[in-house]
Structure 1
């Protein structure tokens, strides 16, 4: 990997990114999408210099953190020097709640979002006009890469409100030149009606909610293949290639991943190309990714599996430097966009990992195996209990409507055997009736830890 070692003087700090005007032909790629790897890294070096100074000079929490670690933005002289700076996580942002992490005055802020705060204090994210413009342009990039064309109608079933998904997708679709149907989440019967009546070519939602919509069409007596949908841009939760195949078969469309985090921007940090469908290309003109060992935080190289860490390069309101996402993946060379590295599919989260009697288990592993068995559906939950001072995992999974209970039970035994062989743990299994388990239009909850109830 190329390193750029020209040291800046303290006065020679680059200016922040200025968004270009939308192109006249919105189907054309942005010029930065075509940059070579060397051009990307040269741009990252310049923008990282600005970001580090911007955060240090304007956010007291960053100054305090860096001073306590004996590091200063002047120490950044080549790309590898980013590792000198400590990582941050959600606790860093929660401690600054609500607005202490902002690097610009409130009169420059144009939008404020927040996380749900289901696991603790919410985190707030804010945007200047330039930040919103950058966000829209990158979501548009992802959609264009996924096969969305200007003039298409986009059925947006991501949640609107404080969650970044709905408005992020909305602005990106408009930036691309699409007509947006701002449906938001929930109301599955209404969603089915709107898709049937308005005939959109594109749907944006979570992958598990698109499966729930397939059930909704079936309940309405409509084959999902008969809808107008051609492209699905799916994100907000990890999903497997097996689920992609399931969705594409059900709807007769092409399904591509979109990746993002509210703390970084929202959806649009990375997107998958419909031509290759081989992982999301990270838009490295705006984000610098790293992979670290989730235990000791040591840097890992391209191709090595670990925790994804991100630094924003152009955000004005909320610069984010070395943020631990807890998403587990690896970085690979670019394909459809050769200058931008790809992130392989997220296999799970370091904070979503089940450790069962010394074996590490992720929900995506169970999903991948379940989708191989045609009598079992992709709808399942994982319950961990400790009934006799020993952890036990119970998988509750719906049978497919086309399968008898007897056939599903046989499939369940096969699922248990494959989990034992490939994951290395034993589990209990409970076959439940179709539509028994909860559906979600947002991020789906898979894991229910009941151990405290047994202690």
Structure 2
């Protein structure tokens, strides 16, 4: 089995053996690795050992993958409750790196990596980049944030592993980003989708047409949900082909899954992760083809083994073969997060649904925010969206009425729409803040 994993180092022009394993061979590898991750958790993480004992899941007695369903889920709050290193399976002195969330909603979630963990991460990110057409020698402009956020260093290591020179510019300084994209001639742009649009907007204000002035061909975008309409907008304005990459720091970082050239779902790398789909309300498995919340178990992580981690991401899974030849299941575009879902007067609404409607209206820009307020006993949703440059202000009111009508007829929720002048809303250098929840906090 280990020879299969080592084959990830093969040349970038063809698929690795690990990417084309049969479904039976993948399942056998997953079972072998799952026993290993359970041993690691049992031996080195007291909290995990208690849970495994209670579920009757001794690592050596594991005979089938579906036995794991007896184990309770791991939640983000579990990481916070054991802050900072209580869920680590290695002492800090044996780690190679530590990352953490911003902690804006409480204690940050802290994750750690051994040197082997970082090797696997770089290999999977390189595999992801190769899947979308990045090749050795391609100049990669990396505008993901560096630091405690996993995006910047994750993409950087993957690009270097693939043999690509990297421009490690991080986020911010957007005018300089535009200048370097033109001057250096990067073929690949890595960033959040919202920041890619910010780059396009600033380029236009500078009188630069990225479609003509640069050499961009591939965009690898992730770290936030984005719609098909957003993809089309980015491609039209930057003149590249946009691909979706998926990851989260609790599991690894970017590179857990990625699209291929077919763009028919993101291949979840099943040799390193076990994927489940559950009903977010009941926690039970959903029927084949149905939408549900993605649950991930790491299969090769040393420092922080995660067992049945609830991602809160809502998606669908596809196991039919992909035209590219890869056999790993595909994760369809994430519709949103279960904890980002808004319930407005009985209607479930994801920000990406509103975004998709707004981007069908040519006079409106992709820059928007959703403001949720309490109106008596009911919630009220206001959509603030900027007009495109050059749209006359006297037409804003009619645009707002039209947008509200489209949202009602498409999404089924009544909203107030405010059309704003271009540049009114804040621009994100990382993950976009799409929802401002102004409702009174409980307690």
Superposition TM-score, scaled by structure 1 size = 0.93
Once the two structures are superposed, residues 342-387 of structure 1 have per-residue CA deviations (whole angstroms, 9 ceiling, x without a partner) of 1111101010011111111110000111111111111100001124
Once the two structures are superposed, residues 56-75 of structure 1 have per-residue CA deviations (whole angstroms, 9 ceiling, x without a partner) of 11111101223344543345
1:173 aligns with 2:197: no
- Counterpart for residue 260 of structure 1: 247
RMSD of Structure 2 on Structure 1 (CA): 2.0
- Counterpart for residue 438 of structure 2: 450
1:352 aligns with 2:352: no
User: In structure 2, what is the Cα distance between the partners aligned to 1:73 and 1:20?
Assistant: 25
User: Does the CA contact (< 8 Å) of 2:383 and 2:417 recur in 1?
Assistant: yes
User: In structure 1, what is the Cα distance between the partners aligned to 2:368 and 2:354?
Assistant: 9
CA distance 1:271–1:328, change in 2 (3 Å): same
User: Does the CA contact (< 8 Å) of 1:375 and 1:407 recur in 2?
Assistant: no
User: Does the CA contact (< 8 Å) of 2:5 and 2:18 recur in 1?
Assistant: no
User: Does the CA contact (< 8 Å) of 2:7 and 2:18 recur in 1?
Assistant: no
Please state how far the C-alpha of 1:95 moved relative to its aligned partner. Answer: 1.8
3-state secondary structure, aligned to 1:386: strand
User: In structure 1, what is the Cα distance between the partners aligned to 2:203 and 2:299?
Assistant: 43
* Aligned with 2:235 (options 205, 228, 248): 248
- Counterpart for residue 371 of structure 1: 359
3-state secondary structure, aligned to 1:258: strand
- Counterpart for residue 128 of structure 2: 142
Number of equivalenced pairs: 440
Q: Which moved more, 1:410-419 or 1:45-54?
A: 410-419
* Aligned with 2:401 (options 375, 391, 413): 413
Once the two structures are superposed, residues 300-352 of structure 1 have per-residue CA deviations (whole angstroms, 9 ceiling, x without a partner) of 24311010000000111111110000000010124134421111111010100
User: In structure 2, what is the Cα distance between the partners aligned to 1:116 and 1:267?
Assistant: 17
- Counterpart for residue 77 of structure 1: 63
User: In structure 2, what is the Cα distance between the partners aligned to 1:408 and 1:310?
Assistant: 45
Once the two structures are superposed, the pairs formed by residues 224-239 of structure 1 within 5 Å of their partners are 224-226=210-212, 227-239=214-226
- Counterpart for residue 80 of structure 2: 94
Please state how far the C-alpha of 1:205 moved relative to its aligned partner. Answer: 0.1
1:128 aligns with 2:111: no
User: Does the CA contact (< 8 Å) of 1:203 and 1:231 recur in 2?
Assistant: yes
- Counterpart for residue 151 of structure 1: 137
User: Does the CA contact (< 8 Å) of 1:393 and 1:427 recur in 2?
Assistant: yes
* Aligned with 1:397 (options 385, 391, 395): 385
Q: Which moved more, 1:334-343 or 1:223-232?
A: 334-343
Please state how far the C-alpha of 1:408 moved relative to its aligned partner. Answer: 4.5
Q: Which moved more, 1:279-288 or 1:20-29?
A: 20-29
User: Does the CA contact (< 8 Å) of 1:16 and 1:50 recur in 2?
Assistant: no
1:296 aligns with 2:301: no
Once the two structures are superposed, residues 166-218 of structure 1 have per-residue CA deviations (whole angstroms, 9 ceiling, x without a partner) of 00000000001100000001111111111121110000000010000001101
- Counterpart for residue 349 of structure 2: 361
1:55 aligns with 2:41: yes
User: In structure 1, what is the Cα distance between the partners aligned to 2:2 and 2:326?
Assistant: 25
Please state how far the C-alpha of 1:441 moved relative to its aligned partner. Answer: 1.5
User: In structure 2, what is the Cα distance between the partners aligned to 1:364 and 1:435?
Assistant: 21
